[in-house]
Structure 1
Amino acid sequence: MSSFKQYDVAIAEYHMGLSVKRLPVFSWDFNHEFIVELKNSFLDLNKLKSIALKNKWTSDNLDLKSRLTEEVIIVTDANLSIVFASHNMLKMNGYVEAEVLGKSPKMFQGHATDLTTSNEIRDAIQLKQPFEKTVMNYKKNGDIYACLIKGFPVFNLKGDLSHYIAFEKAA
């Protein structure tokens, strides 16, 4: 046990001789941001699992857990009304979930959005087919950004259309 005490004394003497006597507080901010993001990912994953369970989704190959860290996930009902938006949407376009719930994803579009691309997405949705398109969307502050959207129809156990799910990231 005496060797540990000698080690502790040596470390204490070393630190007493340093000119810096405090820990840098700014490094704690990184840890806090990480913890908040981790917490939000778990909350989002639990919400998505709840929606899937409640509506008896048949699609298990969406890999929601890993996608939550890299992409924004938006879920609409069959009528294209937003029922879920992941927390990381705030970083991409400045909106929080409460601001978009009940609205159409068209709320992100504007004059710079290509009408042909919008029509192709609409056609895929009407045909209940997956799609992948890059769209010019608008942030909450009005800035334009290119958004890569991978959209998928989600069916329930009866084979009926339940929801649409979109995985989005800035292109």
Structure 2
Amino acid sequence: MEELRQYTNALAKHYQDYQVKLPLVAADMYLEGFHDLNKRLIDVCKIDKIALENEWNTVSFNYREALIAHQNVVFILEPSGNIFYTSFNVEELTGYNAESLLQTSIEELQQRELSDKQIAFIVENLQAKTPFEMMITNYHKNETAYICKVNCYPIWDLEGQLKNYILFVKAI
């Protein structure tokens, strides 16, 4: 608690020349985290609805944990590889807003060629319809590179048919 008081006092001292009345900074910090959590929970509800509508069998992955606890960006892909859904935080990671990415290929975020080894690994796992994890270089909208960890899971319906892929992406 003392650290928050010191932080608030330091900000007040910094902004005193600007003649700005500061609100409770600790409350602002709390609300920012609360709003972020709220957006994540809204994403969970949206994905729950998609899962229910498509009769997903979700035993092999936990999107709730990936979104809330690990703060991953979530992409849901059609079997063709086009983006069907992205979580709210995709713009923070990629620079692209969620709507501009819908119905585009996930490959557009790479903008550069992957190594032959990476391509072979991805193709092998997609053809086998098995989950995989890898590190890749993606590019922000402004073309700056970032390294991210990607976990990809095929999503089956209750009858065993491939419905979608779900990707959990986190910048490293």
TM range (shorter): 0.7 to 0.9
CA deviation vs aligned residue, 1:53-98 (integer Å, no higher than 9, x gap): 0110111452222210321111101111111111122222222211
- Please, which moves more after superposition, 116-125 or 50-59? 116-125
98 and 26 in structure 1: CA distance in 2 versus 1, 3 angstrom threshold: farther
Structure 2 partner of 1:8: none
- Please, which moves more after superposition, 75-84 or 23-32? 23-32
Structure 1 partner of 2:84: 83
Work out whether 1:164 is the aligned partner of 2:152.
no
Structure 1 partner of 2:125: 124
Distance in 2, matches of 1:94 and 1:142, equals 9
SS in 2 for 1:158: coil
SS in 1 for 2:61: coil
Work out whether 1:45 is the aligned partner of 2:44.
yes
Runs of 4+ in 1 over 3 A off after TM superposition: none
Structure 2 partner of 1:14: none
Question: Residue type matched to 2:136 in 1?
Answer: V
Question: Residue type matched to 2:127 in 1?
Answer: Q
Structure 2 partner of 1:56: 55
Structure 2 partner of 1:148: 149
- Please, which moves more after superposition, 123-132 or 90-99? 90-99
Distance in 2, matches of 1:90 and 1:30, equals 21
Question: Residue type matched to 1:168 in 2?
Answer: V
Which ranges in structure 2 are unaligned for 5 or more consecutive residues? 1-15
Structure 2 partner of 1:31: 30
- Please, which moves more after superposition, 69-78 or 58-67? 58-67
SS in 2 for 1:163: strand
The offset of 1:100, in angstroms, is: 0.7
CA deviation vs aligned residue, 1:132-163 (integer Å, no higher than 9, x gap): 11111111111001111110101001100000
TM-score by length of 1: 0.79
SS in 1 for 2:37: helix
Which ranges in structure 1 are unaligned for 5 or more consecutive residues? 1-19
The offset of 1:26, in angstroms, is: 6.7
